[in-house]
Structure formats: C-alpha cells, structure tokens
Amino acid sequence: MSLTMGGVRVTLPTRRDEIYDFICAYADEMDGPTPSIREVSIHFGLAYNTVYHHVMKLIIEGRIRQDRGKLVVIGSEWIEPPRPKQLRFEF
C-alpha cells in the first residue's frame, strides 16, 4: 500500500510485512526458532485462518519456507540442532 504525502510517495507496510517482521524478530530474540501460527495470531489479535493465509502467501513469495512443520526464514543461518536419539532400556 502506498500513498502520496507532500509530493512524496510513501509505502506503508502491509499486514503480511508486519507478520514477516514479527516472525524474523521472534526468531532473532529466541535465537532461531520461529513462532507458531497461533502465537502470531495472538500477537496481532487476528484469527488463526487469517494468519495462516498470510504465512502461506509468504511461503509462495519465497520469504519463508516450511521445514518439518516449522517456519524457516529464507536467508537465515540458524539450523535446528539435531534431536538426541532416544535411549532404549531393556529390563
């Protein structure tokens, strides 16, 4: 969305841009993991389906991707550490 103010064109962030910025800031603050769609919807006070729609559009735009059910910011250097193998005990 853009508008003209005093002859200068100003581009305003869209809701999708705000959601993307929140996902990036959350990932930076939490040192890697991204928020769930439910956490994003609570933060913005939006319905889950609305946020899901925006997240799917961000994936289509190539700004984020989904890996094993988790959102990953494209260009992020964070890689989820491997999960420890489960030990088996025999009695």
Whether 83 maps to a domain, the answer reads no
Whether 20 maps to a domain, the answer reads yes
Nearest 10 degrees: Cα torsion 14, 16, 18, 21: -130
Whether 32 maps to a domain, the answer reads yes
- Give the count of domains, the chain: 1
Whether 1 maps to a domain, the answer reads no
pLDDT per residue of the chain (91 residues) written in tens, 0 to 9:
556 666 777 666 789 999 999 998 998 888 778 899 999 999 999 999 999 999 999 999 989 888 877 888 877 655 555 666 666 667 6
CATH number, residue 39: 1.10.10.10
Give Cβ neighbours of residue 31 (< 8 Å, ≥ 6 apart): 78
The domain of 68 spans 12-73
Whether 84 maps to a domain, the answer reads no
Q: Which of 15, 79, 69 is nearest to 45 (CA)?
A: 15
Q: Which of 24, 6, 8 is nearest to 16 (CA)?
A: 24
Q: Which of 26, 13, 11, 15 is nearest to 55 (CA)?
A: 15
